[in-house]
Amino acid sequence: MALVWGHITGTAKEYLEPQYLAESEEERFLCAEDMILLLKSYFISGNEQAESRAAFHRLSMGRKETFTEFKAHFISAAVKGSVSRSEWFFYLWEKIIPALRAPNLGFKHLWAGSFEKMVQHLTAFDIERRNAPVGTYSEPKPSQAGVSSTKQIPRPIRDFQPRTYYTRPEPTPTPYRVHSSTPRLLSKTPAPDNVTTENCYHYGKPGHYANNCPVPRVREIQAEKEEYEDALEYHSDQSRSGNDEA
C-alpha cells in the first residue's frame, strides 16, 4: 500500500487520503488492491481500462534503461491496467532484458514468488553491473634495471628490403607451318619386323636377339643325335656279346 501511495499525486491522493490515514483499522484499506479499485471507480472507464491493460502488456525493458526506471514504469502500468499484485512477479520477470534474467536464473527459486525480494536483488545487481569496468589496461612495469620487461623481438631483415615484383614474359607466337598438299611417297621395300643392331652372344653375329637365336636349338638336335648313335652302338655291342656266349 505504501508503494501505491508513493506513486500517486494530486486528486488521486485526495481520494485515498481519508481511508489511508484513518485512525480506525476498520476504515483503513486492507490491501493495495482496495486502493486501486477505489481509484478505478473515480478515473477509469471501460475503454480506458482496456487500453491501459494493453499498454501494460506492450511494456518491456529497454537495453539502455536502468532497472529502477523500468520498475517505476512497470508499477505505474500495472496499476493503470488493473493487474493483480499476485501477477507482478511473473510479468516483471518476463519483461526484463536477458542481461538481467539469465545471470539471476539460479536465484529465482530463492525469492519464492516475492515481488519485493526480486526487486531488491535485481536493483542491486543492475547497479553493480553498470558500475563494473568494461576493461582495464595495465602498462608494463619496468624491470629493476629500468628497462621494460616486455621484450621486443627484432623484425627480420627481409621485412625492410624492397620488394621485387616479377612480371611474366609475354608468350612468343609460334610461326604458322605451311603444309604441302602433295602426299608423301611411300617406300616399296617393307621394313623388317625385328630390326636390331645388337650382336647375338651365341656366335657374335648381328640380326637377332639371343632368345631368337637358332644356335641353341641346333646344338640340342646334335646332342640328341649323338645320344641316339651311342645308344645304337651300345645295343649292337650287347647283341654281339650275347651271340658269342651262345
* pLDDT tens digits for range 131-185: 877 554 454 555 555 445 555 666 666 666 666 666 677 777 776 666 666 666 6
**First CA to last CA distance, the chain:** 161
Task: Find the angle CA(53)-CA(57)-CA(62) to the nearest 5 degrees.
Answer: 135
The 3-class secondary structure across 40-91, one letter per residue, is: HHHHCCHHHHHHHHHHHHHCCCCCCCCHHHHHHHHHHHHHHCCCCHHHHHHH
- Nearest-CA neighbor of 56 among 88, 31, 33, 32? 88
pLDDT at 137: 46
- The top-scoring range by mean pLDDT among 81-85, 97-101, 210-214, 224-228 is 97-101
CA distances from residue 97 to 59, 94, 104, 217 in whole angstroms, order as listed: 12, 8, 11, 105
User: Contact at 8 Å (CB) between 59 and 74?
Assistant: yes
Domain boundaries defined on the chain: 2-131, 212-245
pLDDT at 10: 78
CA 100 to chain centre: 28
Distance CA 15, CA 23 (A): 16
The structure's pTM equals 0.40
Distance CA 32, CA 1 (A): 4
